A and B are shown apart, each in its own frame.
Chain A
Amino acid sequence: MADRKISIFVEEVCRVEGHGNIVLNATDGKIEELRLEITESPRLFEAFMLGRRWDEATHIACRICGICSIAHSTASVLAIEDAFGIEPSEQTIALRKIAYHGEMIQSHVLHFYYLAAPDFLGVPSVIPLIQSHPEEVKRALRLKRLGNDLCKLIVGRHIHPCAYLPKCMPKLPDPAAMEALHTRCLDARRDLDAAVALFSTLKLPDFDRPTECLASWDPDEYGMYRAVKIKSSNGDMTDTREYKTKIREFVVPHSHAKHAETENGAYMVGALARFKINYDQLHPKAKEVAQALGLTTDCTNPYAITVAQVVETVHSLEETIKYLEWCLGRELEWEDWDVKPRAGRGVGITEAPRGLLIHDYTFDDGGKLTNVNCIIPTNQNLNNIEHDFHALVPQIIERPDDEIRLLLEMLVRAYDPCISCATHMLKVEIKR
């Protein structure tokens, strides 16, 4: 197209957490500027955790995010336990996993129903869906509330847990409340069946770009709650304490959030990365759903992250049912919560809904933090998103501005970025 100038600036991409802009300037099909600017202010959590006691660390760290505060709490307690040589009991891990999967359910439901689905259904937000898809909206709210209530049952609140500590749980759930939630989880299977039916009708934008994926790996289960190692889609394994040999963070001028790369360049974390790497350990019901939705481990379309979230929600619901039944099948016991701090380093790696989450702490003799490093999933995905941009835009550059804008926004949203966590944001600016 002769003399066509494209100038797109999406200021504060909506339906993501935090503030970011998309900038695209192109003339005659040649890209001059294309980037994802992260403009949200840095939040400096790592700095203000320094000097704080071990028993304050988790309560501060969970405030990094209001969506995935249990994932941050999980990474935090795993890091503390690694540093102090603590092995929590089977009961403690079972209880934690109920809250952990509860958060996974509520976060994924939030994303695929409230944030992503409106794009596919051609509306600007979830609000118009009340009229056009009332049953879907009610179903989404029921599932989200279930996730919230699971968290509340175990850790006292649906976000920013009060009762999530290293070594043991300071609160034991009421068996009657567990029984009631177990029934609701069984009922939720029907809601998820309906969600799967809806998502099977939605068509993803056509785009593929192979990239390295990283996810938590555990020999005993689908890598989520705790990474025994970090696994790459190319088969490489990295010890958790050696994550810096695999992941390098760096700063770029247009982002308040750091970017990250491996020796192979940009990489992806999150639901699709986990699905590709840990598929064999996925719950059979989730595998059935993946098949119904046409999701396979050779998928290289980042828009399919949303589909992988639907699949994982089924997995997390089944895991929740399993652990609730485990807890209901015995008398839960109060455990010794005496923690003896010691000097040293500990690394806790879990999967936040958006991907690999690393907390790396060093303590002094008195159990005070002397060094903190947190690597957030969205930081890791930003570099990959920009690589996707550069692969995608030449394929769509002849399309109208509005379509280019929407496809770029949808791509960013597919990663379910939590810019608040990462800095933490998002706007789209296109100049032709």
Chain B
Amino acid sequence: MSNTTKRIVVLGVGSELHGDDSVGVVVARRLQGKSLPENVEVVVGHTGGLNLLFDMEGADWAIVVDAVDFGGRPGEICVFEAEDADLVKVSRVASLHHVSLADVLELGRETGITPRVTVVGIQPGQLGFGQDLSAEVAQRVEAAVQAVVDLVAGAQEEPAAKRIEYSEDGTTR
């Protein structure tokens, strides 16, 4: 399969009612307004739970954008392969409204439904009720958008994306 026909899904997830948790959705909406290669589909997944699996099914590569607590400073961005990460899981499925992304990714990987998954994680500042992003996270939305654009651009040239980490000032390291 040539790289140009490789189907890439960019999936922005999170709740728009929980502060910085919405950053994945905000980034996905920005990306929907950009001109991206034809093989890239941007999906706003909200809090789709199990249904997020089906958004990724059939793609060759999924880029998931979400608020991720990786112990960074609010607004810090970390790009990593889901496979490499030790994601904290909620194994007690309290309800289908509460299936965590980690559970979804595990279910997808173990059943072979999901393709390779790269996570663009943004460290949240506050996750309380409210529809606004914190100032720290809001000012990093463009950097997160750029992180996805860079990943996608890289995929047009070579099949495997590199691990990229973004420091607070937006530079890669």
Residues of B within 8 A of A15 (CB): 93-95
Pick the contact of B54: A126, A148, A420 (CB < 8 A).
Answer: A148
Give Cα A16–Cα B93 distance, bound, in whole angstroms.
9
CB-based contact B103/A138 at 8 Å: no
CB-based contact A134/B110 at 8 Å: yes
Specify which of A12, A124, A126, A128 lies most central, judged by the most chain B CB atoms within 10 Å of its CB: A126
Residues of A within 8 A of B94 (CB): 12, 14-15
CB-based contact B106/A124 at 8 Å: no
Q: How would residues 103 to 118 of chain B score, 1 for a CB under 8 Å from any chain A CB and 0 otherwise?
A: 1001100110100000
Residues of B within 8 A of A148 (CB): 51, 54
Tell me, yes or no, whether A145 is within 8 Å of chain B by CB: yes
Q: How would residues 81 to 112 of chain A score, 1 for a CB under 8 Å from any chain B CB and 0 otherwise?
A: 00000000000000000000000000000100
Residues of B within 8 A of A127 (CB): 89, 91, 93, 103, 106-107
* Residue in chain B with minimal CB distance to A126: B93
CB-based contact B54/A67 at 8 Å: no
* Residue in chain A with minimal CB distance to B113: A141
CB-based contact B111/A124 at 8 Å: no
Specify which of A12, A17, A141, A158 lies most central, judged by the most chain B CB atoms within 10 Å of its CB: A141
Tell me, yes or no, whether B53 is within 8 Å of chain A by CB: yes
Give Cα A144–Cα B107 distance, bound, in whole angstroms.
14
**Interfacial residues of chain B within 103-151, with CB under 8 A of chain A in the complex:** 103, 106-107, 110-111, 113
Residues of A within 8 A of B50 (CB): 110, 114, 141, 144
Give Cα A158–Cα B54 distance, bound, in whole angstroms.
11
Residues of A within 8 A of B89 (CB): 127
**Interfacial residues of chain B within 78-105, with CB under 8 A of chain A in the complex:** 89, 91-97, 103
Tell me, yes or no, whether A395 is within 8 Å of chain B by CB: no
Give Cα A158–Cα B55 distance, bound, in whole angstroms.
12
Specify which of A12, A145, A158 lies most central, judged by the most chain B CB atoms within 10 Å of its CB: A145
Tell me, yes or no, whether A47 is within 8 Å of chain B by CB: no
Pick the contact of B92: A14, A130, A131, A420 (CB < 8 A).
Answer: A14
CB-based contact A125/B51 at 8 Å: no
Tell me, yes or no, whether B60 is within 8 Å of chain A by CB: no
CB distance from A123 to the nearest CB of B (A): 10
Tell me, yes or no, whether B168 is within 8 Å of chain A by CB: no
Pick the contact of A145: B57, B91, B106 (CB < 8 A).
Answer: B57
* Residue in chain A with minimal CB distance to B108: A141
Give Cα A425–Cα B148 distance, bound, in whole angstroms.
39
Tell me, yes or no, whether A137 is within 8 Å of chain B by CB: yes
Give Cα A131–Cα B109 distance, bound, in whole angstroms.
12
Pick the contact of A17: B57, B96, B107, B111 (CB < 8 A).
Answer: B96
CB contact under 8 A between A115 and B111, given known A127-B106, A145-B57: no
A-B contact count (CB 8 A): 64
Tell me, yes or no, whether A175 is within 8 Å of chain B by CB: no
Tell me, yes or no, whether A66 is within 8 Å of chain B by CB: yes
Residues of B within 8 A of A138 (CB): 111, 113
CB-based contact B91/A125 at 8 Å: yes
CB distance from B129 to the nearest CB of A (A): 12
Give Cα A114–Cα B111 distance, bound, in whole angstroms.
15
Give Cα A115–Cα B50 distance, bound, in whole angstroms.
13
Tell me, yes or no, whether A355 is within 8 Å of chain B by CB: no
Tell me, yes or no, whether A166 is within 8 Å of chain B by CB: no
Residues of A within 8 A of B92 (CB): 14, 124-125
Pick the contact of A158: B51, B111, B113 (CB < 8 A).
Answer: B51
CB-based contact B111/A137 at 8 Å: yes
CB-based contact B113/A114 at 8 Å: no
Residues of B within 8 A of A367 (CB): none
Q: How would residues 3 to 47 of chain B score, 1 for a CB under 8 Å from any chain A CB and 0 otherwise?
A: 000000000000000000000000000000000000000000000
CB-based contact A114/B96 at 8 Å: yes
Tell me, yes or no, whether A346 is within 8 Å of chain B by CB: no
Give Cα A57–Cα B8 distance, bound, in whole angstroms.
37
Residues of A within 8 A of B110 (CB): 130-131, 134, 137
Give Cα A289–Cα B88 distance, bound, in whole angstroms.
41
CB-based contact A141/B96 at 8 Å: no
* Residue in chain B with minimal CB distance to A158: B51
CB contact under 8 A between A141 and B111, given known A127-B106, A130-B106: yes
* Residue in chain B with minimal CB distance to A128: B91
Pick the contact of B93: A125, A141, A144 (CB < 8 A).
Answer: A125
Tell me, yes or no, whether A377 is within 8 Å of chain B by CB: no
**Interfacial residues of chain A within 397-432, with CB under 8 A of chain B in the complex:** 420
Give Cα A320–Cα B15 distance, bound, in whole angstroms.
33
29 A-B pairs whose Cβ atoms sit less than 8 Å apart in the complex? A12-B94, A14-B92, A14-B93, A15-B94, A15-B95, A17-B97, A18-B95, A110-B96, A114-B50, A115-B96, A124-B92, A124-B93, A125-B91, A125-B92, A126-B93, A127-B91, A127-B103, A127-B107, A134-B111, A137-B111, A141-B53, A141-B54, A144-B50, A145-B53, A148-B51, A148-B54, A149-B54, A158-B51, A420-B97
- B-binding residues in A (CB < 8 A): 12, 14-18, 66-67, 110, 114-115, 124-128, 130-131, 134, 137-138, 141, 144-145, 148-149, 158, 420
- A-binding residues in B (CB < 8 A): 50-51, 53-54, 57, 89, 91-97, 103, 106-107, 110-111, 113
**Known contacts A14-B95, A141-B111, A145-B53; 17 further A-B pairs (Cβ under 8 A):** A14-B92, A17-B97, A66-B97, A110-B50, A125-B91, A125-B92, A126-B107, A127-B93, A127-B106, A130-B106, A130-B110, A131-B110, A134-B111, A137-B107, A141-B50, A145-B57, A420-B97
The 6 closest A-B pairs by CB, nearest first: A125-B93, A130-B110, A14-B94, A145-B54, A138-B111, A17-B95
